[in-house]
């Protein structure tokens, strides 16, 4: 009996060790999976029944029930100021003390705004619009079951109007990815979000157009990722617009919410409306999910978007172009200039060529090229067809990267670590082993992006710096950074980092 008991004990321990090892391996693998791969694994292990209409007519009830729990309400708190000479500085009192010009300004006040977001994984990752959270000091996420979490910004980008947030939770409901390439004009769709500060709201409509450009991001100072404009303009404008247009009703507050098909699959992130009054007047616009997938995976892995560029300055072929340059083409992109040492130049594309197809698809507008290239990264290849001297030629181009309140010194900081994290205004990714070896450090996160309006931007902290310690604690990932910020004392955040020029230290006063 003793031998049998010992054998059973050994078998049990061995089984536990095997299961534990497998789980450790599984968790390690999950860390490096894209959001789309995670979803495929989840739905492979949790098969769902097909959503069918019970009457033969469009039936949205099942799709609405499946999606609504995964669409969250985002409430943002930000600091608003009134001033005569511009925004306030954390060092205003020092400027006044040392006789520097003083800017008369009102006391900071708290402002609030709200929007929507979409859970895309059970471990708390949320995609929303950049404009929903870009000025946030504090971000609060509320689920349909009334649970509330504080969120931190993993990455955001104004050129795509997308942001990735993270809440510390698990086993959350999330929305299944669809395929925006297969969306058809006339297809029924649902918009899910929190318009006009209402609770979860579902509206229905159809897809009325694809690949729409409405100039909303260009108005904010971005433009096209290929220098789209007149030939004398520099190639510095980088915004991407290729919206799905729908007549499903959306309003203020729907920003960042879900556009889904009747199968309950996410096909877009609602971003804007076309309206002369600021409220719904017929058309809404959503960012295609196939573009969203690429951007959020970049945010998670790198903290910033990894963009590849063709390196041309172009305009869509229209009547004016045809008349001026004596060409007969109806569609395509006329190349005004080619960036020196860029991807197009390396592939032999020249000024005066007409780009007619991308990956075999006819180019009807600049968004046809814009969206597809925006899904790729530096080093990826894309097949372009161009016309020169009346003959079409195919070429494979390898994309290249672009060559951007309380003042008492004795008072403990009252803000949460997540709020301070967002106020710093930066994205981080773990330092590689090679970087640690290069600088002789044992810990570190790399600043991959510095966001507009944050403390890092104000004090000139540049991306590329390797942050080794926050408030004296070693950091190796964004969770370490947030945890270390929880020990902030006297409203001062202490940052230690290394760069090519040596070790640097910053002390940031956190103002409310």
Catalytic positions, please?
131, 161, 255
Crossing angle of the two packed helices 478-485 and 417-424, in degrees rounded to 10 = 120
Question: 3-state class of 372 per DSSP?
Answer: helix
Alpha helix ranges (H) inside 145-191: none
**DSSP label at residue 195:** G
Beta-sheet pairing, 354-358 with 361-362: antiparallel
Residue 130 contacts residue 157 (beta carbons within 8 Å): yes
Nearest residue to 70 via CA among 163, 167, 187: 167
Strand, coil or helix: what is 371?
A: helix
> Whole-angstrom Cα distance, residue 35 to residue 239?
24
Instruction: With beta carbons less than 8 A apart as the criterion, state whether 162 and 240 touch.
Output: no
- Report yes or no: 267 and 118 within 8 Å, Cβ to Cβ: no
Contact between 52 and 63 (Cβ < 8 Å): no
Inter-residue contact 120 to 148 (CB < 8 Å): no
Q: What are phi and psi of 205, to 5 degrees?
A: -170, -160
Phi, psi (rounded to 5 degrees) for 128: -150, -175
Q: Residue 244 and residue 236: Cα distance in Å, rounded? A: 25
Distances (CA, A) of 53 to 58, 59, 68, 206, 239: 6, 5, 18, 17, 40
Question: 373: which 2 tokens?
Answer: 């290239």
Task: Check: CB of residue 327 under 8 Å from CB of residue 295.
Answer: no
| Whether 183 contacts 259, CB under 8 Å | no
Only one residue has tokens 């109806």, namely: 330
Cα angle for residues 201, 204, 210 (degrees, 5° grid): 120
- What is the rounded distance in angstroms from the CA atom of residue 99 to the CA atom of residue 82? 22
Closest CA to 187 of 286, 112, 101, 107: 286
Contact between residue 148 and residue 140 where contact means Cβ atoms under 8 Å apart: yes
Residue 162 tokens read as 């997308």
Write the CB contacts of 471 (distance below 8 Å, at least 6 apart in sequence): 484, 485, 487, 488, 489, 493, 494
Kindly report the CA angle at 165 between 491 and 204, in degrees rounded to 5?
140
Residue 431 CA, chain-centre distance (Å), reads 21
């Amino acid at each position: 009996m003793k031998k049998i008991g010992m054998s059973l004990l050994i078998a049990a321990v061995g089984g536990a060790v095997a299961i534990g090892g497998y789980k450790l391996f599984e968790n390690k693998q999950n860390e490096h999976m894209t959001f789309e791969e995670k979803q495929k694994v989840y739905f492979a292990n949790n098969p769902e029944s097909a959503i069918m209409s019970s009457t033969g007519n469009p039936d949205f009830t099942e799709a609405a029930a499946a999606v609504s729990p995964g669409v969250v309400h985002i409430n943002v708190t930000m600091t608003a100021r009134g001033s005569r000479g511009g925004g306030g500085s954390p060092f205003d009192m020092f400027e006044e003390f040392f006789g520097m010009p003083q800017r008369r300004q009102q006391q900071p006040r708290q402002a609030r705004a709200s929007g929507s977001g979409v859970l895309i994984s059970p471990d708390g990752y949320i995609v929303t619009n950049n404009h929903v959270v870009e000025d946030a000091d504090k971000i609060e996420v509320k689920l349909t079951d009334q649970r509330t979490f504080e969120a931190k910004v993993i990455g955001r980008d104004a050129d795509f109007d997308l942001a990735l947030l993270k809440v510390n939770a698990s086993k959350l409901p999330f929305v299944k990815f669809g395929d925006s390439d297969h969306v058809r004009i006339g297809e029924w769709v649902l918009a899910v979000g929190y318009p006009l500060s209402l609770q979860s709201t579902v509206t229905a409509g159809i897809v009325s157009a694809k690949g729409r450009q409405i100039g909303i991001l260009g108005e904010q100072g971005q433009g096209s990722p290929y220098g789209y404009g007149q030939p004398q303009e520099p190639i510095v404008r980088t915004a991407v617009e290729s919206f799905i247009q729908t007549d499903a009703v959306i309003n203020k507050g729907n920003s960042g919410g879900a556009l889904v098909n009747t199968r309950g699959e996410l096909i877009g992130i609602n971003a804007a409306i076309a309206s002369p009054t600021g409220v719904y007047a017929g058309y809404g616009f959503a960012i295609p999910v196939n573009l969203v997938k690429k951007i959020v995976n970049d945010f998670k892995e790198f903290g910033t978007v990894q963009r590849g560029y063709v390196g041309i300055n172009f305009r869509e072929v229209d009547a004016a172009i045809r008349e001026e340059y004596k060409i007969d083409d109806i569609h395509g992109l006329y190349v005004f200039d080619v960036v020196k040492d860029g991807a197009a130049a390396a592939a032999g594309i020249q000024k005066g060529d007409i780009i007619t197809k991308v990956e075999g698809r006819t180019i009807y507008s600049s968004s046809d090229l814009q969206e597809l290239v925006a899904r790729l990264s530096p080093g990826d290849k894309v097949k372009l067809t161009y016309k020169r001297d009346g003959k079409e030629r195919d070429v494979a181009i390898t994309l290249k990267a672009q060559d951007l309140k309380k003042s008492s010194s004795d008072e403990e900081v009252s803000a949460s670590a997540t709020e301070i994290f967002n106020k710093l205004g930066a994205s981080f990714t773990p330092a590689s082993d090679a970087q640690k070896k290069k600088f002789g450090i044992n810990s570190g996160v790399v600043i991959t992006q510095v966001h507009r309006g944050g403390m890092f931007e104000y004090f000139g902290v540049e991306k590329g710096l390797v942050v080794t310690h926050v408030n004296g604690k070693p950091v190796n990932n964004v969770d370490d950074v947030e945890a270390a910020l929880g020990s902030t004392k006297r409203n001062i955040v202490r940052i230690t980092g290394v760069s090519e020029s040596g070790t640097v230290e910053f002390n940031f006063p956190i103002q409310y």
